[in-house]
A = this chain, B = another copy of it.
Amino acid sequence: MKGARCLVLGAGGFIGTNLCLALRAAGIDTTGFGRKSRPPPALAGLDRMLWLAGSIESLSDPDALVAGHTHVFDLIGAGLPNSSNDNPAQIVADGLPPKVRLLEACRRQGVQRTVFASSGGTVYGPAGDAPIPETAATEPISAYGIGKLTVEKYLALYRHLYGLEYRVLRIANAYGQHQDPNREQGLVAAVLHRLLGAGAIPLWGDGAVIRDYLHIDDVVAAFLAVAFLEAEPGADASRLFNVGSGIGRSVLSVIEDAARVTGCRPILDRHPGRSGDVAVNILDSTRLQRETGWGPRVGWEDGLARTAAWLRTPR
C-alpha cells in the first residue's frame, strides 16, 4: 500500500463511505468523488482526504479526475435492479459510455489497478439453492445485472488491449453502518430503522426471497485485499471474486432476527413481488478466501446489533 493514492468513485454512498474510512485508517491518501457538493458527515474534515463533487456522466475531463491516483475504486451504481427494468435501454445508453471513458482515462494516466463493485445478486440470474461460484453461467434478469456484467467485460478488454490491471468484486447484500435506511436498497437497514420506530416494514412478495448478507466491514476488507494483495510471483491471479457469507437468509428470517436483536415487534406492509428478483442468491467466496486469506469476520447477530446501535446514534 506504500505510495498508494486512491480514488473512490461513488464515495458518498454506503460502501464508498466505509471504504474511504478504511483507506484513511490504513494511512492511504484518498480522493472521494461523489454527486454531493460536500462529503458525507463521516468523511468531513478527515486528514489527507480530498473531496471532489461531480458525476461521471457530465465529466468534461476524466483524465483530470484520474490523474495522480494509483488505484481507482468504481462503486458508482446505475439505478436499482428492479427499476432498471422499467427502462432497460437506459443503462447501456447512459450508464456504460461514461464508465468506458473512465477506463480510457485510467489507462492513459497509468493507473495501476481498478477495482469494480459488481453485483453478486444480479449478474448470475436464477441459479438454484447452492452457493454460486464465479464460474457459473451469467444470465441476468435485470438490465442492472446486464450493465454490471458489461462493465466486467470491458475491464477484461482493457487489460487485454492495454494491460490495465483490474479486480472485480461480485458483492452480496452488504449491510451495516452508513447505509441510508430510507433508500430502496438495503433490507437490513430498512428493517432495523422501521423496527426502531419508523413504522411498518415494506415486504415485496411472500418474503421467501433468499439472499446472502455480509457486514460492510467484511466487504471493505475484501476491497483492500484485492486492491493491494499481490499474487505470488509466477502465479496467475484471479481477477473476479465473489464476496459473500455463503449463508442464505430469507427476508422473513431477516425480519425475525432483527426483531429479536432489537426486542421490537415488526409490522409488515405487503406489496406484490418484483420481476427483477431471483428467488435465491447465495455466493460461494472460496476463491477469495483461498487466494487472499479473506474471510467473513462479523457474525450475523453481532452485525445486526452493531447496525442497530449505529442507527440509534443521534446524527
Interface set of A (CB-CB < 8 Å, partner B): 85, 88-89, 92-93, 96-97, 100-101, 103-104, 135, 137-143, 146, 149-150, 153-154, 156-158, 160-161, 275
Contacts and interface: CB of A to CB of B under 8 A. Distances in A.
Contact of A141 (B92, B101, B104, B157): B157
A249 B265 CA distance: 70
Nearest to A88: B100
Q: Which of A97, A101, A140 has the most CB of B within 10 A?
A: A97
A304 to B, nearest CB: 33
B161 A140 contact: no
Contacts of A96: 89, 92-93, 96
B154 A146 contact: yes
A146 B146 CA distance: 11
A102 B71 CA distance: 39
A106 B88 CA distance: 14
Contacts of A139: 153, 156
Nearest to A275: B161
Nearest to A84: B157
Copies in the complex: 2
A126 to B, nearest CB: 9
A146 B97 CA distance: 13
6 residue pairs, one from A and one from B, having the closest CB atoms: A89-B100, A93-B97, A92-B96, A146-B153, A141-B160, A89-B97
Contacts of A85: 157, 161
A150 B150 CA distance: 7
Contacts of A150: 92, 146, 149-150, 153
Contact of A100 (B92, B141, B142, B154): B92
A161 B149 CA distance: 18
5 contacts: A89-B96, A89-B101, A92-B96, A93-B93, A141-B160
Given A92-B97, A96-B96, A138-B153, 17 more contacts: A85-B157, A88-B100, A88-B158, A89-B101, A92-B93, A92-B100, A93-B96, A135-B137, A140-B153, A140-B157, A141-B156, A141-B161, A142-B157, A143-B154, A143-B157, A146-B154, A160-B275
Contacts of A101: 89
B140 A146 contact: no
B92 A92 contact: yes
A157 B146 contact: yes
A141 B160 CA distance: 7
A148 to B, nearest CB: 11
A117 to B, nearest CB: 19
Contacts of A88: 100, 103-104, 154, 157-158
Contacts of A140: 153, 156-157
